[in-house]
Amino acid sequence: MTDLPATCEPTEFNKPTQSGRGLRDAVSGFARELADHRWPVIGLFVLTVAVYFPVASFDFLNWDDTWYIVRNDLIKSWHPVNLYRIATEPVARNFAPLTIGTFLVEHTLWGMWPGGYHVTNLLLHGINAILVFLLLRQLTSNDWVAWTAAALFALHPVQVETVAWVSSRKTLLSATFMLASLICWLKTDRTSRDEGWGILWLILALLSKAAAVVVPPIVVAYDVFIARKKPAESIPRQVVPMFLCVMLILVTMSAQTTIVGGVRSHIGNSKLWIIAIDSTLLWRYVAMLIWPVNLNVLYDPPTEGIALLIAASLISWGAIMGFAWKVRERFPWLAFGVATWLLLLFPVLNFFPITTLMNDRYLYLPCVPFFALAVGGASQLLHKLRGRSASASTALATILSTALLAVAAWSTLGYLPVWKEPLLLWHHARQETPSLTVVHIQWAITLESLGHTEQAQAALETALAETDPDEGDRRRIQEMMDRLAPSSTRGDSVGGTGKGEANFPFDSLTNIKTGKR
């Protein structure tokens, strides 16, 4: 195993007078680590920026961007009251002061120009790709496995939502600090200085997004499966990190006192029901990573009439976890990879209620152990073939990885335009998930903002007639229809189509791909 990147090497804590030198040593050590692998790092970053650069011309979306940026007065002034509120109050039912702080800085730099915010997201994604490479290289000591898995992480079309949606900044920023923290923690011979830096990065991750609470259990899993430590030895080292995570969870739960927007039909179901549905969603996530087609901003996974699917999913996941546990001594990386995959997904599996059952962005970091296991397994297979023909196996690895990355990049370029503006996003969503009431509501909001009030009202009528809105959505639809009523005559607003499409240039939208370029 390679040495830990020197980002985790401050001076000893019992020498406070040398703390400045320790920070300088850490920075210079990290710079040396990058310099030693400058070509893989540069290639990975350039490739990521090249594929996602179109986001620089994208607009804000009327899907949380409104509350985080457009109508968020907290980011429009450095007044002490604003700074205090950013540090202490939730925004859009999320406590993420560091994330909101980045929006404050950006508003100061470029005001309401969307391109600046999108470029920041892109740069963070590029940085995260580098950190994934450094982390996997540290864990595997295999440059090819680390770089290929990191490139798949960077270029896979399932990442489009996270990169192209400004409001997903919290996912990107939290991932940056989570990866930095894991680089410090995940080593067999870590020191107290490494753990100190790991805690610092964890704090920053928690202040960016609550999902960072999974870092301590991931570290315990590493200690048990890879470092071969006993739980009684590992868990006490996580007391401080776990305490910080519990505090953040309490703050976040106090902020989420209401459940609005999104898809809410699953809210209120029992935990056993959630586990049953989650078992099917886990396989859908696997399928999305293997064959990423029909990607969308929102999904409507089946939750009824799928008893056989649930049974098969529960049995198969139980078998996978049982097998990973049984062979943990022989294949510790398999056990650790499966544990990490499940832990990274745990915050979004609705054990703590959230307003969507599944999203692309939920796979942002969970795809890392998936790709690492897949590429690592392929590497082991090629290693066996190398005994017969080293040059042939190397050529095969190069060809396969290049082809795979080319397909991923091409698919991402095909799906990116969907996220360019609200009109394209919700037109695409109506095609993919017409059963969701919220999709029609957002489509109506988009049409209204463009001045197409008749079509907006027709879209609301379609939502009432062709979907199953709950009480909250019905109230919201009625409020919008009352607001729109003076601007149009309800009886003849849609030219008899009933689809909200009269007199609207939809032909210009038909060339947008769905992740199948």
What is the pLDDT tens value at each position of the chain, 517 positions in all? 444 444 454 444 344 445 556 566 666 667 777 777 789 999 999 999 999 999 999 999 999 999 999 999 999 999 999 999 999 998 888 899 999 999 999 999 999 999 999 999 999 999 999 999 999 999 999 999 999 999 999 999 999 999 999 999 999 999 999 999 999 999 988 989 999 999 999 999 999 999 999 999 999 999 999 999 999 999 999 999 999 999 988 887 776 655 555 565 666 677 898 999 999 999 999 999 999 999 999 999 998 899 999 999 999 999 999 999 999 999 999 999 999 999 999 999 988 777 788 999 999 999 999 999 999 998 888 777 766 566 666 778 888 899 999 999 999 999 999 999 999 999 999 999 999 999 999 999 999 999 999 999 999 999 999 998 988 889 999 999 998 886 445 444 333 334 444 445 554 454 444 444 3
Beta bridge partners of 94: 91
According to DSSP H, which parts of 61-209 are helical? 65, 80-88, 97-110, 114-140, 143-155, 160-164, 169-185, 192-206
DSSP 503: T
Give me the half-sphere count of Cα atoms (radius 13 Å) on the Cβ side of residue 403.
6
Asked whether the beta carbons of 58 and 114 are under 8 A apart, the reply is: yes
Alpha carbon distance, N-terminus to C-terminus of the chain? 40
Radius of gyration of the chain (CA): 24
**What's the CA gap between 211 and 227, in Å, rounded?**
25
CA dist 290 → 51, 176, 362 (Å): 20, 24, 16
The predicted pLDDT at position 16 comes to 46
**Other Cβ atoms within 10 Å of 350 Cβ, number:** 21
Q: Give the pTM.
A: 0.88
Task: Determine if residue 124 is left, alpha or beta; phi over 0 gives left, psi from -120 to 50 gives alpha, anything else beta.
Answer: alpha
Give me the half-sphere count of Cα atoms (radius 13 Å) on the Cβ side of residue 15.
10
Dihedrals phi, psi of 353, to nearest 5 degrees: -55, 130
CB proximity list for 497: less than 8 A, separation 6 or greater:
458
According to DSSP H, which parts of 307-389 are helical? 307-326, 332-345, 367-386
**What's the CA gap between 120 and 69, in Å, rounded?**
14
**What's the CA gap between 440 and 447, in Å, rounded?**
10
- CA neighbor of 358 nearest in space, from 287, 446, 427, 310: 287
Q: Residue type at 409?
A: A
Cβ burial 10-36 (10 Å sphere, 16+ → b, else e): bbeeeeeeeeeebeeebeebbeebbee
Concatenated DSSP letters of 228-281: ---HHHHGGGGHHHHHHHHHHHHHHHHH-----SS--TTTT--HHHHHHHHHHH
Contacts within 8 Å (CB) and 24+ apart, 204-208 = 204/98, 204/177, 205/174, 205/175, 205/176, 205/177, 205/178, 205/181, 206/174, 206/244, 206/245, 206/248, 207/96, 207/97, 207/98, 207/99, 208/96, 208/98, 208/99, 208/170, 208/173, 208/174, 208/176, 208/177
CA dist 256 → 85, 95, 250, 381, 392 (Å): 17, 9, 10, 47, 56
486: part of which helix (H) or strand (E)? none
- Dihedral of CA atoms 103, 105, 111, 114 in degrees, nearest 10, equals -40
Residue appearing with tokens 């595997």: 140
**What's the CA gap between 73 and 392, in Å, rounded?**
60
